Structure 1
């Protein structure tokens, strides 16, 4: 078993015909991985992804979370991997982040203030921060191994992957977002936007990596939503907002996170899991 990739959060091991994907408790913000872990964060991400992979009815890379038949990587044990690991299909990753937005927030809000557009999509004038769109918009981004992904136009994406593939990615990504939006709404949660990844397997585009988690999506409590201001969230935006109150310059090694921030962040992740799945988090 060989470690083939270590991302900001996930470690990927080659186990022969398949990959073993392990979600760590690392947390990143502003393109930095922090020295402080969030306990059980990797389990939340894995279990939420597993829930969605099973619920969405979209072909995906998940094969199993039963690790009894594989060799455990050196330096780890079964307890380390429990709840945070998936055996997945080997895919050729599409080199584009497929972002779907239902609300004007984040980098989209910043772009809109400067140009009235989001990724080349012209929007009506006078929209407030966190305004809801009549229909979700597809705003792809470059896929950066390090540093920050950059928004690109659909036309630029089509030049990279081909027009037919670009159309398929947009259609499938919006479909996943809409299904997630509908379920989240029934749980009292707004799915403001999400970032999806797709890969090629046996000539088909299938959903890979994670899906509709607090790391890849913005989740807001529906009963507290109010356009024109930033929203309380279930995702790591809470950590970003804390960091904005510190003296850290975002250009040097990041500081340790205070225990209070760690505990509140873990609680937000677990709350998202329990609301979305309707189940008690097994590692509480």
Structure 2
């Protein structure tokens, strides 16, 4: 497999009481000083950086404020998903006064979480035909091997959301789309069934919430782990952010009109489009221009404001119809 770019080099932060344990492309993990390592830690501090990645590369420069925006959005979504176990734990204590357990240096872009035994599955749910799914559909009328009706166009709403899991490859290798049968081999039948059920349930609930904000949730990916004490399957990592999801403006959505979809996106499609136009995907990617950074940050903020404001107003849902 082709080797991936490693995360952009950056010195671990000096966080009182915490020690750097791992860095992914866009997030850094810290464990309590007393913990031997991530596997032994009961708690982990998940810090969202301002790094941005696309096409398996960490890009330069980062997007100022991105870590705060995505953490705020994840925390908001966890609040909306009542009844779905998640990995958050209380991030403050009350002993006559409220004391934050999150260091001031990362306040606003960090989540305090319990450690889980993570499943090696990215739980992808697609509600619309786009991206790599559209390319596969054109070739054989399937998405990740799932047959779909004839006559769909780029950007069409699918008759119903589909679950298309991927295998989370070790660092340095590509994630790989896999069949549901393969997930059974990896995690067992009961866990595979529950991952699919939870993913589709969360996607349906989140889509309805996005509808009320005039936003389409086109697709997303979830990660889950098993609680180390109870064994309960638990939602983890970021959830329903602009980095892990495709969001479109419902008022500008048009079936089959990919340029309009990209202009109406609330995710990093702006970054992908600029790179595709200015880079052949070999060697080191070019630095992102200031206007692309500013546009992406603005779209991330716009999505956060639309979702949270609409939730407080109780706006009437609006949803594009499924393709005929």
TM-score of the superposed pair, with normalisation by structure 1: 0.92
The equivalent of 2:133 in structure 1 is: 108
1:42 equivalent to 2:59? Answer no
Q: CA contact under 8 A between 2:91 and 2:100: conserved in structure 1?
A: no
* 2:303 corresponds to: 272
Matching residue of 2:286: 255
- The residue that corresponds to 1:190 in the other structure is 216
Task: Provide the rounded CA distance (Å) in 2 between the counterparts of 1:253 and 1:64.
Answer: 41
Matched, 1:156 2:182: yes
Q: Distance in 2 between matches of 1:19 and 1:166?
A: 26
1:249 is displaced (CA, Å) by 2.2
1:81-230 to structure 2, matched below 5 A, reads 81-144=106-169, 145-201=171-227, 202-230=230-258
Cα distance in 1, alignment partners of residues 174 and 210 from structure 2 = 28
Q: Deviations over 1:193-241 (max 9, x none)?
A: 1100001102010000011100000000000111112212000011001
Q: CA deviation at 1:251?
A: 2.1
Q: Is the 8 A contact 1:119 1:154 kept in 2?
A: no
2:22 is matched with 5
Shift of residue 24 of structure 1? 0.2
| Aligned partners of 1:109 and 1:129 also within 8 Å | yes
Q: Which moved more, 1:147-156 or 1:122-131?
A: 147-156
For 1:35 and 1:90, the matched residues in 2 are separated by 30
Match of 1:234 among 266, 291, 297: 266
- Give 5+ residue unaligned stretches, structure 1: 73-77, 280-284
Tell me the CA shift for residue 65 of structure 1: 4.3
SS at match of 2:251: helix
Distance 1:170 1:14 in 2: 30
Return the alpha-carbon distance in structure 2 between the equivalents of residues 132 and 242 of structure 1: 26
Q: Within 5 A, what are the aligned runs for 1:29-68?
A: 29-57=54-82, 58-66=84-92, 68=99
Match of 1:25 among 40, 44, 50: 50
Contact 1:63–1:89 (CA under 8 A) maintained in structure 2: yes
Return closer, same or farther for 1:66/1:251 CA change in 2, 3 Å cut-off.
farther
Larger Rg: 2
Q: Distance in 2 between matches of 1:91 and 1:210?
A: 14
**Structure 2: how far apart are the matches of 1:56 and 1:211?**
10
- Report the Cα distance in structure 2 between the residues aligned to 1:177 and 1:269, rounded to whole angstroms: 19
Residues 274 and 71 (structure 1), Cα distance of their counterparts in 2 relative to 1, 3 Å cut: closer
Q: What number of residue pairs does the alignment pair up?
A: 272
1:76-131 Cα offsets, whole Å, 9 max, x none, are xx2x3121001001101110000001001111111212221112211112211111
TM-score, normalization: structure 2?
A: 0.81
What does residue 275 of structure 2 align with?
243
Q: What is the CA RMSD across the aligned residues, in angstroms?
A: 1.6
Q: Is the 8 A contact 1:31 1:147 kept in 2?
A: no
Distance across 2 between alignment mates of 1:175 and 1:24: 29
Tell me, in whole angstroms, the C-alpha distance in 2 between the residues paired with 1:70 and 1:251: 43
Native 8 Å contact 1:141 1:151 kept in 2: yes
Q: Is the 8 A contact 1:98 1:140 kept in 2?
A: yes
